[in-house]
Structure 1
Amino acid sequence: MGSDQTTRGRLAVTTTAIRTATMLACAAAMAAGCAAPTTSGNAVKAADADAAVVALMDTGTYSTVPGRPFGVTGDNVKAQHLMEAHRIAEYTVGPWEAEAALVSLPGMFDLALISPIDSVETLRDGNILPLPDVAEAHGFMTGFSSLRMAARDAPLYGLQNVVLRFPDAQSAAAAAAEMVAKAPPMQGSEPGPPTPMANSPESLAVTYELPDYIRRVDSFTAHGVFVLYQSARSDLGLFRTAPAIVDKMLTLQKKRIDEFTPTEQGAMSSLAMDPTGQLLARTLRAPDDSAPVVIGVWAPQAWLHFEQDPIATDALFNTAGVDAVTQRLTTVYQAGNADGATRIVDEFARQIGGLDDVKPIDGVPGLPSAECFEREKDWVPETQAMTYQRVRWHIKCVASADRWAYTAFSEHAADARQQMAAQYRILTGE
């Protein structure tokens, strides 16, 4: 569960970011060409103090018009598997649902464990699964991995939950059985004998007694065309130990994945790159098309895996009527109406402003709804992968435009403000 992430972890996230961003950028280019060049806009006269004034906005070199809509995955197998992974994410149980204390994002080198899994290479490079070669041998197709930790001062450490799709139930069953049989040592500790979970006798788990009185439990369950994998760690002195946490997660995950209808393999070429039809094309892209690994369109429930506070954000999405979230350079939240978008801005500003070592800074000229913040230490520079920057940003801003709320991050305040201004103009057409 990320215990051995070092330089390999950094490379995994960087490689995955480049691979995923490039794939989507190429797919967009094939489907519809690149975004149109920046055009000038007419100033909008403010009707009141809260109205945006385009004439005051500095958009730098960013485009201010939408790109052309994305198409379908076509014959691109990696794109097919990526879009199916996005669908699976909506039906992957977040660790906080099994244990409310598990809401904290992991350290930088474990961010690859919160990710769509579009290939065996992603499994292997991200160190997501102990035995990627076994998954490959049985035809692994796609999946999703989620991970959360307890707060630093809490004794409970963390839980990873992974859903892996195989071609058929027989392949999934064979993969799960072989993974249990070949469970490798962890931190010098040999796995204990496979044992069934209390409420899921069809599942087999292996237990590791690790240094510092830590117990790790890895569980493998064949469930239809899926293999459900959970890995938990806990202090041995806890009442809620790793086996109990895994057992609860497995019960929740089996029920959730039963609600999911996998795309037939013959129909995967028809999966839409943008299920909303146009919102991804209206999400600001970087000039070089770089993006975090979470690039794309996400259902609200799926996007919770990437949020700072998934529990509070889940309630917010329900109240605000959010029906889609898109990520390219910026993140756009499509709410039910303008009031919902304002609610998102207010809540995100509260969450961001409550972080340690974060302070408010000046907003965006011409955009009164924008609030900006600066992280004063432990931020990641722009020389690092964008996946890291999105989580450990230096500057972050949030604003609304009609029914959309959106955020931008950057190492530089001026750049973040230009992104915010450009995204406003793309969304409103001004």
Structure 2
Amino acid sequence: MATVNIRSDVKDPFYRYKMERLQSKIEGKGNGIKTVIVNLSSVAQSLARPGAFVIKYFGFELGAQTNSNPSDDRWIINGAHDASKLQDYLDGFINKFVLCKKCKNPETEVFIKDGRILLDCKACGARSDVDLRLKLSGFILKQEPKKGKKDKAEKKAAREARKNGNGNGNSTPDIKDTNGNGSNDSDGSNGEDLGVEAGSDDELTRRIKTGAQELGDEVEVKDDEWTVDMSAEAIKARQQQLPDDLKQKLVLGGDDDDEDGEGGGNSKYDLLGDWIINEAKEKGGVDKIESIDVYVKAKELGVENKHRTLLVLVQSIFDDDIAKQIPKRAGMLKQVGVSEKHQKALLGGIERFIGFRGKDNPEFYNETSKVLLACYNDDLLSEEVLEKWGTKASRKYVDIQISKKVRKSAEVFLKWLEEAESDDEEDDDE
């Protein structure tokens, strides 16, 4: 079988890193048509990656159902897909999940540490991070083996020992179990499969339009406690300190771990928001502002990578057409931040954006699912963060009732996300 260089940009015929060219065949017809990748196991072995990683990557990129653990070595993608097209997608997988970010050699091993996916290069010794916003990253994180009963027993014993101390009252405070519902971000679902997209954007859009529900009933979600005072009185008091143009637009809130406070309306974040609003007025709308100019301004203020910057950006660079504008701004938003903390801040900005517009126009809540879908499709938000966000309301960014309404209005998207994952897991079990 013909071989090609693992790095497609290297044309040297004597390049030492080779793999088989992908071979596929199309089976079935109509709704049952599918593509079988004949030699995926061999290709995955050449890349030193599990076949499940490769087939899942194809599924995420194509928006198609796949099987990630076939007993007969038949790796299947629903739909008809040309081998040359799959080869192009494989190049993307190699660049993102195989090649060392420093020396560009494919001699790397994947390992997970502290919620990060790292590539350990055996050629140059460098360790580089994999982008956690990529959909496959969520799948890889969930492949980390679950802790066994022995590990749990040991942890419990250790906690009891810390709790009891030496019996004289000078004990060390107990620490919440990282597999429980404490402040740790883990959802306790490591090892479970991750769903792929179950339908097209158009299909979901139709479901959003037909599934929009009345928001009068409150969604049953848990209140999340935060140290920031977000009562109506506190918000109003802070609003009065902001410039007139920002009072209704931004409504910034402080973060305990952010060195830049509210600043009486003169913080770097206020200055950034004020600049964007003034630029929009001068140029005739937010669509007239170039993303690169916004990022340069944020960099000038020294907040280009701060998670809190996303709160300002969401509320100032979009208008009522936010769902359509997100793809244009996605690249710039990704440059601001990649961590889970940044994603949570992005969701906080969306809550404020939807909530404040929803006060004057309740129908605007129908945009929530479209906005979240746009962010999800552009890899701004991961499944894990979205699922956690959907389970409980928070008063960190908005009033608790608004937080509940925003989540209620996102039910169509959240249900679609859950069904996509469930359908994928059922497919894997077959």
TM-score range, shorter chain: under 0.3
Q: Greater RCO between the two (CA within 8 Å, min separation 6)?
A: 1
TM-score, with length taken from structure 1 = 0.22
**The structure with more helix, counted as a fraction of residues:** 2
TM-score, with length taken from structure 2 = 0.22
